[in-house]
Structure formats: structure tokens, C-alpha cells
Amino acid sequence: ETTMRSNFIHNMIDEDLAEGKYQEVYTRFPPEPNGYLHIGHAKSICLNFGTAKKYGGKCNLRYDDTNPVKEDMEYVNSIEEDVRWLGFEWDEKRWASDYFDTMYDAAVQLIKKGKAYVCELTAEQMKEYRGTLTEPGKESPYRNRTAQENLALFEDMRAGKYGDGEAVLRAKIDMSSPNINMRDPIIYRVAHATHHNTGDKWCIYPMYDFAHPIEDAIEGISHSICTLEFEDHRPLYDWVLNEVGFWNPQPRQIEFARLNITNMLMSKRYLKKLVDEGTVSGWDDPRMPTIAGIRRRGYTPEAIRSFCDDIGVAKSNSTVDFAQLETSVRDDLQFKVAARNVVMNPIKVVITNYPEGQIETCEVENNRNVPELGEREIPFGRELWIDGDDFMEVPVKKYFRLFPGNEVRLKGGYFITCNEVVKNEDGSIKELLCTYDPETKSGTEGGNRKVKGTIHFVEASTAVKIKIREYQTLMIEDEEGNLELNPDSLHETWGYAEPSVSDVKAGERFQFFRKGYYIADSELTTDDEKVFNSIVSLKSSWKK
């Protein structure tokens, strides 16, 4: 848990440290504050913060706010809450927009060296001039402007003499490069928009590929870890650092495969749409792949961290089975949470040979795997509720739970035998008339007698009615394998719980005995009404 599993990035870092290239490992997690973080970001957080921790280095939280949009404090706050919830703390918190002056100076320096020029091709023309994978690009007619001319025009851009899209600053690299990213990429654009941090100071903004290496270099980042889409951008990353050139040592960009999980759509843009259109209740809807969503769903930070570690760090894209994430959650919860008896689709059991009005106490263990979690007391009486799944009027083969004529153990209580099924007028079951064997109380000699089925129960007069929310994945695959919205991702039901559940506080997790793991919803649970989210079922079909 404390040491992260080694991966190819760590091998590269080991080499760099052995060669003395860097004195210390310094990473950063650079989110754009334009939405809530999702589980893909969790992978990046675990990798960046975890790597720094492993090497005794540092990791910054850097807001990549080079786009002039209004800052949304809600997003900023959520990002910080999520990083901390995952168990990490940044060394420094930085804003990329604080470096706009340095970036501007770097651009001027490039112009003076003849390595950048102001180009007035339209976006359409520029696309045409850029060429294709098989065809080299064409040089812009503005490419050979003098440094002096470019300095003046760039100053005009900065002074607001151009409208949006009327001029850009381009790096002068190589229009015939096989790498399209190197065909005189745009490094500055005009955007007349108010920036949350710099206000109206700028009407030109640096492009990601120009800004990011400078941000890394300013902060003394040693290893700039990013996702695979940026592999083809690495030559440009290095070009910027080499040409701008006063950084020593230079940061090293390393790419890894982004995390994909079956039936999980990870795109802030798409998730924002679901929130804005009200398809989900918010960014923290328990079905959302956001960190806020999975937190409310009941997943633990330990489970997410071990999941991210278990799946490793890959050099090529692949998709992890959602069941593997659930396994990590289950593996963590099984040693942490106590059980509570809850029955759904309840069926009434009347124990005809048990005294009316009498209630006695039974002791049950909280967690078989963890004796330290102790025992709790639950009431037993003449009328009980059992789970709808635990009775069959006409049993199928190998059904060992309750059916007419059969005897089962009530976990923590007594053995009961079903004698009669009483029906309502519509044919549905009204109640089961049963008898108990007084010699079989759990914990006594008689309770050791062998019986094939064990089920659980909730005493009827003290039962607490609770709301239960069961989930399926928010997205499902259509016939072509594309993800589409699952029309049936939330199923609301209810159940009867043992009396202690009336004291449950929002955020508390339990195993609903023999059912699965549940958490009292942080938004919907009140003193009077307990609403539980299903976290994960007890068993999975996924095999390690």
C-alpha cells in the first residue's frame, strides 16, 4: 500500500537518476478546471503523486488554465477535495496563467531568433497548407517575414489590433516534417475574452503545446507524465524547451495509456452535458464515473488506489473490465465493514409456537473475517420478515432455503420449519406459518445440529423501513459496441432493516448480510429516513 508497484515510467526515472540527470523527482497533476475529475484522472493522480511519494520527491497541483474561461470555483474546490480524498497532498498549488508573462517573453525570444512568425492565413487555409500524413505541408506566404516585422505584428496582436482568428503566432519548424505537429504549429492565438485570473490584460493566449513545457520548466518538474495522445507532441515539447532554452535540467515528457473502463464514459464534456441536461442528479450522482460520484456511491480511496496500482501503467491503450474495479472495492470492504440484516421483497413469517408479545435478543457477528468488529444484538420474536429470495413455494433443484416442509437455520436465532403458506385473495403470499425448535438457539449445543440452509431475518415489530437504490452502469454498449445511455441505471426499492439501522449516519457503510455492500447516501439520508446506495454486490463473475 505504501510502495507503489514499479512500472516502465519508474524504470525511466531510475535511469535518469542513475545518470544524475535530475537530483529529485518532481511531478505535477495538471487538470483544466472545467469540470469534476473522473476515475481516469484518479489514475493520473495516483501515478503522479504516488511516483513522487515513492521517490521522496514532490508533486504539484497545477491548474492548466491557459484557456480564457471564467473560473468556476465549484470545479476548483471539487478538484482539491478529490485529490485529498484519494489520500494525496500537493507540494505547491500553481496556476498556469501566472506564467503568461514568461510565456510571452519566450515567444518574443523565439521571434527574435527567427523561430516564430505571425501568420494571417485563415484557419481553413492553414488546414490546407498543413498537408497530410502522406503529403508534406506547404509554407505559409507569411513564413519569411523578418524578425522585426514579426515583433511589431505580435505586439499588434497583443495590443488588440486583430480580431479572433485573424492572426496567430506560429513556431517556424519544418513544413515537410513527417510529424504534422512539427509543421509550424500555432503557439499563440487571439482570443478577446476575459480570463478569470488575468482579467482583460491579455487578448492573446498560448497554445497547450507551447505553454505546457514552459509551465513544467518553471516549476522544475523532472518528469512530465501525460497520456498517450501526446506522444506525437513530444518532439514539439522538447523543441520548445530547447529553443526557449534557459532551463536546466529540462523536464522529460513520458506518456502512458489513459485509463478506459468498460461501460464508463470518461470525458468531462460529456459528463457536464449529463449534469446540465439533468440526466443525472449532479456531478456526484452515484452512477457518475466522477470521483465525487464514486465517493458518494461508497467506493473507498483505498480501493481506488489499489485498483490503479493493480491495473499497472501501460504503453498502449486498452480497456479494463468494470468488474475489476468492483473487485477492488469488494476486496477492500470485506475487511472493513460490519453486517446488518436487511430483507427486500419481504415475506412475513409467523412462528406459531413462539409466545405472543415476547421479544428476545440474539447475538450475531459483525464480520466473520474480522473478529475485532465484534458482535451485535438483534431482536427475535413471533413475527419476522425474511427476504423474498429466501422462500420458494415450489423449490427448484438444490434450493436449500425455506420452502413448505423444510427446516432452515435463522442466522443468530433458531431453526424454523415452514408448515403452511397463507395466501391473500389475489393469490399472493400473506404469510408463512412456521414453528421453531426451542432447542436450537444459536450459541447453544442444539444450534450445532446440521441443517442445509441458513437465512437471515428481521424481527417485524422493531423493523426499520429503509430506501434502497440499486444501480446498473450509467452507460451500456449498443449492438455496435458504442456506449449509449442506459435507460434503466437506477432502480429504487425498499426493505426492512434491523432496528439499529435507525441510528445510521450519512456515509456509513455496511454489508447487508448475504446481499452486498451499501452506504447511507450522503445527500438523501436524514434522521428520519435512511436511503442506501448499493456499492457493490457480494460476488463477482470476474476472475483474476
Does the footprint of ligand ATP cover residue 7 (CB under 6 A)? no
Does the footprint of ligand ATP cover residue 212 (CB under 6 A)? no
In this structure, the dihedral spanned by the alpha carbons of residues 195, 196, 197 and 202, taken in order and rounded to 10 degrees, is 10
Find out whether 252 is annotated in a ligand binding site: no
Element (H, E) at 362: strand 359-365
Find out whether 267 is annotated in a ligand binding site: yes
One residue of 10, 41, 94, 530 binding ligand ATP per CB under 6 A: 41
Find out whether 233 is annotated in a ligand binding site: no
Find out whether 215 is annotated in a ligand binding site: no
| Spatial distance between the Cα atoms of 106 and 138, rounded to a whole number of angstroms | 26
Q: Is 32 a catalytic residue?
A: yes
One residue of 10, 268, 411, 515 binding ligand ATP per CB under 6 A: 268
One residue of 27, 44, 533, 534 binding ligand ATP per CB under 6 A: 44
Would you state the cell numbers that stand for residue 154, as one nine-digit string? 505580435
Does the footprint of ligand ATP cover residue 313 (CB under 6 A)? no
Does the footprint of ligand ATP cover residue 61 (CB under 6 A)? no
Q: Which is nearer to ligand ATP, 260 or 486 (CB)?
A: 260
| Spatial distance between the Cα atoms of 287 and 47, rounded to a whole number of angstroms | 24
Phi, psi dihedrals of residue 491, rounded to the nearest 5°: -125, 115
Determine the interface stretch with ligand ATP among 261-269, 387-395, 447-455, 458-466 (rule: CB under 6 A): 261-269
Span 230-259, contacts to ligand ATP by CB under 6 A: 258-259
Q: Which is nearer to ligand ATP, 40 or 185 (CB)?
A: 40
Task: Number of residues interacting with ligand ATP: please give it, by CB under 6 A.
Answer: 15
Phi, psi dihedrals of residue 120, rounded to the nearest 5°: -115, 20
Q: How far is CA 216 from CA 32, 219, 220, in A?
A: 15, 5, 6
| Spatial distance between the Cα atoms of 510 and 533, rounded to a whole number of angstroms | 10
Q: Which is nearer to ligand ATP, 320 or 432 (CB)?
A: 320
Angle, vertex CA 96, rays to CA 93 and CA 102, nearest 5: 120
Minimal distance, residue 91 CB to ligand ATP, in Å: 17
- Options 258, 272, 348, 467, the catalytic residue: 258
Residues 6 or more apart whose Cβ sits within 8 Å of residue 495 = 342, 343, 344, 346, 465, 466, 468, 512
Determine the interface stretch with ligand ATP among 36-44, 68-76, 109-117, 165-173 (rule: CB under 6 A): 36-44
Q: Is 336 a catalytic residue?
A: no
Q: Please check whether residue 424 is in contact with residue 382, taking contact to mean a CB–CB distance below 8 angstroms.
A: no
Determine the interface stretch with ligand ATP among 264-272, 294-302, 361-369, 503-511 (rule: CB under 6 A): 264-272
- Options 183, 268, 295, 441, the catalytic residue: 268
Does the footprint of ligand ATP cover residue 330 (CB under 6 A)? no
| Spatial distance between the Cα atoms of 210 and 107, rounded to a whole number of angstroms | 9
Determine the interface stretch with ligand ATP among 29-37, 137-145, 247-255, 326-334 (rule: CB under 6 A): 29-37
Minimal distance, residue 250 CB to ligand ATP, in Å: 19
Q: Please check whether residue 91 is in contact with residue 58, taking contact to mean a CB–CB distance below 8 angstroms.
A: yes
Find out whether 11 is annotated in a ligand binding site: no
Minimal distance, residue 65 CB to ligand ATP, in Å: 10
In this structure, the dihedral spanned by the alpha carbons of residues 406, 411, 414 and 416, taken in order and rounded to 10 degrees, is -20
Does the footprint of ligand ATP cover residue 263 (CB under 6 A)? no
Would you state the cell numbers that stand for residue 81, as one nine-digit string? 477535495
Q: Is 54 a catalytic residue?
A: no
Q: Which is nearer to ligand ATP, 216 or 387 (CB)?
A: 216
Find out whether 42 is annotated in a ligand binding site: yes
Q: What ranges make up the beta strands (E) of 34-115?
A: 58-63, 93-95
248, HSE (Cβ side, Cα atoms, 13 Å): 2
Q: Which pairs count as long-range contacts for 197-202, CB under 8 Å and 24+ apart, including other chains?
A: 197/65, 197/71, 197/95, 197/97, 197/98, 198/97, 198/100, 201/100, 202/68, 202/100, 202/158
Find out whether 184 is annotated in a ligand binding site: no
Q: List, as residue ranges, the binding site for L-glutamine.
A: 64, 208
Q: List, as residue ranges, the binding site for ATP.
A: 32-34, 38-44, 227, 258-259, 266-268
* Binding residues for ligand ATP (CB under 6 A): 30-32, 40-41, 43-44, 64, 226-227, 258-259, 266-268
Active-site positions? 32, 258, 268
